[in-house]
Amino acid sequence: MYAILDIETTGGKYNEEGITEIAIYRFDGHEIVDQFASLINPERPIQPYVVKLTGITNEMLIRAPKFYQVAKRIIEITEGCILVAHNALFDTRILREEFSRLGYDFQRESLCTVELSQKLLPNLPSYNLEKLTKYLGIPLVNRHRAQGDAQATVALFKLLLSKDTAKNIISQTLKTNEKLPPEPRLIAMAERAPSKVGIYFLYNIQNRIIYIGRAKNIRKRLLQHFTYDNRKSKRLQKEVASVSFELTGNELIARLAELEAVRATKALYNRRPNGKKIYTHQLSLKKEKDGYLYLELIPADGRKSPILTFNNFSEAVDTLETLSQDNAICLKKTNLKNPNHISKCCDEDVTTYNQTIHKFIEEKSLYKKNALLLLNGRNVEERSVIWVARGKVKGFGFFNLNHQITKSDILNNILNTVSDVPNATHIVQQYLLKNKFLKVINLDDKSNQEMLKLGHL
């Protein structure tokens, strides 16, 4: 019998968080036989970033039951069960802490669907619950709410049970929730880090970088490193002596900074960069005899300038099908085999359709672009900037809103030069496909070439 659960908390310092919402589904391996879900009054304020993430506010919890009022129900529904959660170490720790405050020693065996997924479904691009369920076609509604996440975890766990035909991994992954507190020095390191987006560096006693990572919330990610009990985390906990970090203002700059930092160092526990592209396929443009512009999906080819690049073939197909639904492209004018595809764009004349393709490329591709792409910086007086030249990312960095830049030699001086151009370009291209930049400054525009007063554009 399993108790599949998800918990939302107030955030805050390690072991001082309070539960704001909990959902538990008692699952017999085939179907849900009991369930419990409730908001919880944590008797402490919710951190602002958590309110933004979950939508749960302090006002919503004023009349919610306190934990002691639901504790008996939680014990009953989990009795004789193995706890199952996505990142189980977090949920089980929070439960133990809440029960400990009541003087009760809450002990259950547990399984983590992150670890199970990594073993049973290897080589997936991400094991984040949202991305994993989307890849597997599992519905996920009300993300970052306890019931929505727990229901998705039930469906994920059911799939994993069917994949583990020999039942070896389930038995090997089963863990008892022993109280093994992390070292206070590690928690102190994490607590000194900011709850902001950026990259971080872990050093050993010889002051050598052993790991580089990025995170939306550096403090939270460090706490995960220092409390999780997987193999990689245990190695880091044993060796780390100090931590440093760099704020980036947004996740895209964090990805580029991480890419360059890993390439420039020999961090022990980072995957060694070997010049290999992190994307496998690209979309290229060609004009056929009928005059139409055709988009061709091909394996990554450095000899051809890509319109778009993709992490894998499945992502490429999904993206093109989505674009066809938006009437940006016609699948019949690609090399994808979908003869039944019908879209408004399929009936357009050559001129109209080609204009549609040009507009799509202009809005969602770096193809042949010479531009500065602007995002928010690390504070209100600053912007982050990505320099694209001839469709390739050349550099990135920050500038003050009152700063003036003239000509490319100034850009070279104030920005960090990109060494891994193909992968950096892919990262930015993936962002552009799904998001909008704060500003896009076209460097082919003569009015911007001599002097770029970035703070006023």
pLDDT in tens, 96-105: 999 999 988 8
Mean pLDDT for the stretch of residues 184-188: 88
Q: Which of 66-80, 136-150, 155-169 has the weakest average pLDDT?
A: 155-169
Q: Are residues 16 and 104 in the same domain?
A: yes
Quick check: 425 pLDDT over 60? yes
My answer on whether 27 and 163 are in the same domain is: yes
Confidence of residue 21 (pLDDT cuts 50, 70, 90): very high
Structural domain boundaries, residue 449: 371-456
3-state helix, strand, coil in the chain (%, to 5): 40, 25, 35
Percentage with pLDDT > 70 across the chain: 87
Confirm whether 33 is domain-assigned.
Answer: yes
Q: In which region does residue 207 sit, left (phi positive, over 0), alpha (psi from -120 to 50) or beta (all else)? A: left
- The pLDDT of residue 93 is above 60: yes
139 within domain boundaries: yes
Q: Which of 81, 87, 160 is nearest to 128 (CA)?
A: 87
Taking 60 as the threshold, does the pLDDT of residue 455 lie above it?
A: no
Predicted local distance difference test score (pLDDT) of residue 199: 94
Residue 361 lies in a domain: no
Q: Is residue 408 predicted with pLDDT exceeding 70?
A: no
Q: What is the CATH classification number for the domain harbouring 218?
A: 3.40.1440.10
Residue 306 sits in the same domain as residue 436: no
Q: Are residues 140 and 192 in the same domain?
A: no
| Residue 243: closest CA among 278, 289, 194, 279 | 194
Structure confidence by residue, pLDDT tens digits, 55-72: 999 999 999 999 999 999
Q: Is pLDDT above 70 for 333?
A: yes
Question: Same domain for 168 and 190?
Answer: no
Mean pLDDT computed over 108-114:
90
Task: Decide which of 220 and 451 is more confident.
Answer: 220
Is residue 173 within 8 A of residue 88, CB to CB? The reply is: no
Q: What is the mean pLDDT of residues 169-185?
A: 65
Last residue of a domain, which of 301, 326, 343? 343
- The number of residues making up the chain comes to 457
Say yes or no to pLDDT of 454 above 50.
Answer: no
366 vs 178, residue with greater confidence: 366
Which pLDDT does position 31 carry in this prediction?
A: 86
- Tell whether the model's pLDDT for residue 173 goes beyond 80: no
On the question of pLDDT at 83 being above 60, the answer is yes
**Radius of gyration for the alpha carbons in the chain, expressed in angstroms and rounded:** 25
Q: Of all helices (H) and strands (E), which one includes residue 309? A: strand 308-310
Highest mean pLDDT among 164-173, 393-402, 434-443: 434-443
pLDDT of residue 450: 43
Domain stops at, among 213, 230, 264 = 264
N- to C-terminal Cα distance for the chain?
61
In a domain, 379, yes or no: yes
What is the predicted pLDDT for the residue at 217? Answer: 93
Same domain, 70 and 160: yes
Instruction: For residues 364 and 358, give the distance between their C-alpha atoms in angstroms, rounded to a whole number.
Output: 10
Contact between 115 and 107 under an 8 Å Cβ cutoff? The reply is no
Least confident of 226-230, 332-336, 448-452: 448-452
The angle at the Cα of 331, spanning 328 to 335, to the nearest 5 degrees, equals 130
Number of domains in the chain: 4
User: DSSP letters of 286-302?
Assistant: EE-TTS-EEEEEEE--T
Give dist(CA 27, CA 161) in Å, integer. Answer: 12
pLDDT attached to residue 326: 76
For residues 107 and 10, state if they share a domain: yes
pLDDT at 442: 87
What is the overall mean pLDDT for the chain? Answer: 85
36 and 155 part of one domain: yes
Whether 149 and 45 share a structural domain: yes
Burial of 222 (0-12, 13-18, 19+ CB in 10 A): buried
274 domain residue, yes or no: no
Helices 67-78 and 88-101 meet at what angle, rounded to 10? 120
Going along 77-208, which residue ranges are E strands? 82-85, 109-112, 175-176, 198-203
Are residues 106 and 8 located together in one domain of the fold? yes
Question: Which of residues 158, 176, 194 is at a domain's end?
Answer: 176
